[in-house]
Structure 1
Amino acid sequence: MSGGNKAVAYIKPGEVEVRSTDYPTLELQDGPGVAPANVGRTCRHGVILKVLATNICGSDQHMVRGRTTAPEGLVLGHEITGEVVERGPDVEFIEVGDVVSVPFNIACGRCRNCKERQTGICLNVNPARPGAAYGYVDMGGWVGGQAEYVMVPYADFNLLRFPDRDAAREKLLDLTMLSDIFPTGFHGAVTAGTGVGSTVYVAGAGPVGLAAAASAQLLGAAVVIVGDLNAERLAQARSFGCETVDLTQGTVEDQIAQILGEPEVDAAVDAVGFEARAHGRDSEEAPATVLNSLMGVVRAGGALGIPGLYVTEDPGGVDQDARTGTLKVRLGLGWAKSHQFNTGQCPVMKYHRGLAMAILHDKVHIAKAVNATVITLDEAPRGYAEFDHGASRKYVLNPHGALDGVQAA
């Protein structure tokens, strides 16, 4: 199968564009952001997917705001669910016609880290550093999936195949969250030590924060509290049973104490990352705010799950330290309270099958929790703009009409 392709590309800070681009092949071609050592890499182990759903992520937004070194023309998109339309000669178990979820981590399945289930830091897919992803700066240059078609390497290892195609299509709006934000939120909750009866504070009510809150509920937390500066996003958290903290109104500790009767929680999740703002009205950017506040509210012996993105290069950082990812973190406080810190990319493959089962058997309604909103591929620029202005929505692109008429339920 061959032909044209349309994809969402980063143009410059604040601007994305839907462009006509080449139909993918089983070889990584030269292009914006592709690591030179990856050019010409043949993927006999790969497949071509017809993209059924692909999502706009907060991590994409960092690039679009100009807060990374992303080059012009980089095709975006690392949250992909699709149907296999072509497979390479070395693919054994994935078949044409399969409906699959694509982990945003690209992993070879052969290196030490992959064998230890640390698929977020595969050693063989990115010449620059451990770990790779689709459509993301400095992550190997694998072409993004906010497109009509995309190539996925190491298909037998990477792809989660849904055995029942009809059931998968029926639950597609929920299942599309498996490529990133649901496992990422779940990873944050798990690594924070969430369990039955826990009290959990989630910093950030964007899609990952909401996914972390829903995950904490799934894990049996007694109380889940979500904090944010955005009233619309806090209302979304309350819509599925979370308590909320309005960070424009008083300290986190005081508001948690009003909810729990004490100013501390068992576990906390940083779902904000390096573009954090200070607490209070009309607050300025202060990238260590969340990390420091979490150390203040987590009990001694507790843990911080940190799926929020922190970078090594931030051209828009508030000072020279922030531009290199060097933050003024109160490590002494965390040390004194014997906190555990868990950072880095979520290893999606560790969680996605179990979370898929929870979705398919109606144990969680993740699309509703994150307010999934379907738009066309051509509407992607509008989705990026509205998301950047704080819309409490998870925008899902619908390149081929598989989600026509679907709403979160």
Structure 2
Amino acid sequence: MSSNRAVAYNGHGVDVVDIDYPTFELKDGPGVNPANVGRPVRHGVILKTVSTNICGSDQHMVRGRTTAPEGLVLGHEITGEVVEVGPDVEFIKVGDLVSVPFNIACGRCRNCKERKTGICLNVNPDRPGSAYGYVDMGGWVGGQAEYVLVPYADWNLLKFPDKDQAMEKILDLTMLSDIFPTGFHGCVTAGVGVGSTVYIAGAGPVGLAAAAGAQLLGAAVVIVGDLNEDRLAAARAFGCETVDVSQGDPKDQIEQILGVPEVDCGVDAVGFEARGHGSGAGTEAPATVLNSLMEITAAGGAMGIPGLYVTGDPGGVDDAAKRGALSLDLGTGWAKSLSFTTGQCPVMKYHRGLMMAILHDRVQIAKAVNATPISLEEAPQGYADFDKGAAKKYVLDPHGVIKR
């Protein structure tokens, strides 16, 4: 049996530790719901991880901003090679190179059948929706590891048609597990289309992926706002306009770009650790982005909200924020007849189409997010650098197979 090294939350950061090699049964461990312990996974496969990315959602846990338990193995952005298949797997074969949606979905429940795979009803006893290596998501072991178990493999996995071609584009294709579909979903739900003007709050990897997605959807102008100049420069590098929100209200800078202080479509790629704008730029104010988007999105428009909001935040700025209750200017949204969409992106709704766009050179998502491969053992430093605002998307390479 092979060894298995993995990245685990230690209560104040991450360590690279030895964990059990996966089997076709969900074992007890940090974060595993007791109702899931012993759950057979005959429909699953074991992957040798080819790439697994550090995500901003992981950072929320590592900063102590969730109720994640110590010892939780992290990682929900997974691409890998199948090395073993369960007895109930019919179509996925050993040797296949596959992308794993970060949502775990059964393919059998009402929501899965309606393509709402982000809120599968059967994989998490706590609530609808599940993910690998994430707090309150059922306890499925994370994929920042050398090997990982993937359930419901025939349903969940996206097989790449040509392994050699896929490895040549692996830094692009690794983004299909989460951030590219997530950013794209934010744009789709915001109504982005040909000729749209779009404001994306946040120039982290999801925000930059959303910007690339908006361009793919035909937006006329894509404006990205952030506090971090290096990340804003990354957005400008592929044709976006930018707004430095530390310099004041985004609407004033948007007016300088468009001639009007509003956009057709708004996307929140920041989430619950948002900072204030202008003079309040250094202070956490979790409702800032949502309220700003309601102000600058044109009447009758829509807001896509792929940014993460939680129901439990020990580090929240007040008692309300600690339970995910924010002071929203809903009256503005109501008066302007705005619509908004929240929640996990249903990755399976988008990942094949985005794969084809990558394989046929319609988009260069790795370049847009500055994909940077590092070894599994370098994960603690990658987490630290990303937390400091590095304008990079760190891609862990557990087996040293990605070309530098």
TM bracket (short chain): over 0.9
The superposition leaves residues 209-262 of structure 1 with CA deviations (integer Å, 9 ceiling, x where unpaired) of 000000000000000000001111100000000000001112211100000000
Question: Is 1:375 equivalent to 2:355 in the alignment?
Answer: no
SS in 2 for 1:12: coil
In 2: Cα distance, 1:280 partner to 1:206 partner: 19
Match of 1:68 in 2: 66
Q: In structure 2, what residue type is equivalent to 1:337?
A: K
Match of 1:126 in 2: 124
State the shift of 1:280 in Å: 2.3
Match of 1:350 in 2: 349
The superposition leaves residues 109-150 of structure 1 with CA deviations (integer Å, 9 ceiling, x where unpaired) of 000000000000000000000000000000000000000000
State the shift of 1:404 in Å: 3.3
Match of 1:294 in 2: 293
TM-score by length of 2: 0.99
Q: 5 Å matches for 1:92-241?
A: 92-241=90-239
Match of 2:77 in 1: 79
SS in 2 for 1:157: helix
Q: In structure 1, what residue type is equivalent to 2:187?
A: A
The superposition leaves residues 81-113 of structure 1 with CA deviations (integer Å, 9 ceiling, x where unpaired) of 000000000000000000000000000000000
The superposition leaves residues 45-99 of structure 1 with CA deviations (integer Å, 9 ceiling, x where unpaired) of 0000000000000000000000001001000000000000000000000000000
State the shift of 1:163 in Å: 1.5
Match of 2:361 in 1: 362
Match of 1:395 in 2: 394
SS in 2 for 1:359: helix
Match of 1:8 in 2: 7
Q: 5 Å matches for 1:33-72?
A: 33-72=31-70
Q: In structure 1, what residue type is equivalent to 2:376?
A: L
SS in 2 for 1:169: helix
Match of 1:27 in 2: 25
Match of 1:275 in 2: 273
Moved over 4 A (4+): none
Question: Is 1:322 equivalent to 2:321 in the alignment?
Answer: yes
Q: In structure 2, what residue type is equivalent to 1:151?
A: L
In 1: Cα distance, 2:337 partner to 2:226 partner: 26
State the shift of 1:3 in Å: 1.7
The superposition leaves residues 168-214 of structure 1 with CA deviations (integer Å, 9 ceiling, x where unpaired) of 11111100000000000000000000000000000000000000000
In 2: Cα distance, 1:402 partner to 1:78 partner: 20
Q: In structure 2, what residue type is equivalent to 1:141?
A: G
In 2: Cα distance, 1:229 partner to 1:349 partner: 32
In 1: Cα distance, 2:323 partner to 2:68 partner: 15
In 2: Cα distance, 1:109 partner to 1:153 partner: 11
SS in 2 for 1:22: coil
The superposition leaves residues 325-370 of structure 1 with CA deviations (integer Å, 9 ceiling, x where unpaired) of 0000000000000000100000000000000000000000000000
Alpha-carbon spacing, 1:250–1:280, altered in 2? closer, same or farther (3 Å):
closer
Q: 5 Å matches for 1:294-313?
A: 294-313=293-312
In 2: Cα distance, 1:226 partner to 1:335 partner: 25
Q: In structure 2, what residue type is equivalent to 1:38?
A: N
Equivalenced residue count is 403
In 1: Cα distance, 2:168 partner to 2:399 partner: 15
In 2: Cα distance, 1:194 partner to 1:152 partner: 33
Q: In structure 2, what residue type is equivalent to 1:121?
A: I
In 2: Cα distance, 1:309 partner to 1:189 partner: 15
Q: Any gaps of 5 or more consecutive residues in structure 1?
A: none
In 2: Cα distance, 1:378 partner to 1:213 partner: 31
Match of 1:255 in 2: 253
In 1: Cα distance, 2:275 partner to 2:373 partner: 29
State the shift of 1:26 in Å: 0.8
The superposition leaves residues 153-175 of structure 1 with CA deviations (integer Å, 9 ceiling, x where unpaired) of 00000000012111111111100
In 2: Cα distance, 1:118 partner to 1:322 partner: 28
Q: In structure 1, what residue type is equivalent to 2:43?
A: H
In 1: Cα distance, 2:321 partner to 2:247 partner: 27
Q: In structure 2, what residue type is equivalent to 1:384?
A: Y
In 2: Cα distance, 1:251 partner to 1:46 partner: 49
State the shift of 1:401 in Å: 1.3
In 2: Cα distance, 1:257 partner to 1:50 partner: 50
Q: In structure 2, what residue type is equivalent to 1:265?
A: V
In 2: Cα distance, 1:314 partner to 1:96 partner: 41
State the shift of 1:151 in Å: 0.2
In 2: Cα distance, 1:7 partner to 1:404 partner: 21
Q: Percent same amino acid at aligned positions?
A: 78
In 1: Cα distance, 2:69 partner to 2:91 partner: 36
Q: In structure 2, what residue type is equivalent to 1:72?
A: E
In 1: Cα distance, 2:126 partner to 2:293 partner: 32
Q: In structure 1, what residue type is equivalent to 2:97?
A: V
In 1: Cα distance, 2:377 partner to 2:217 partner: 37
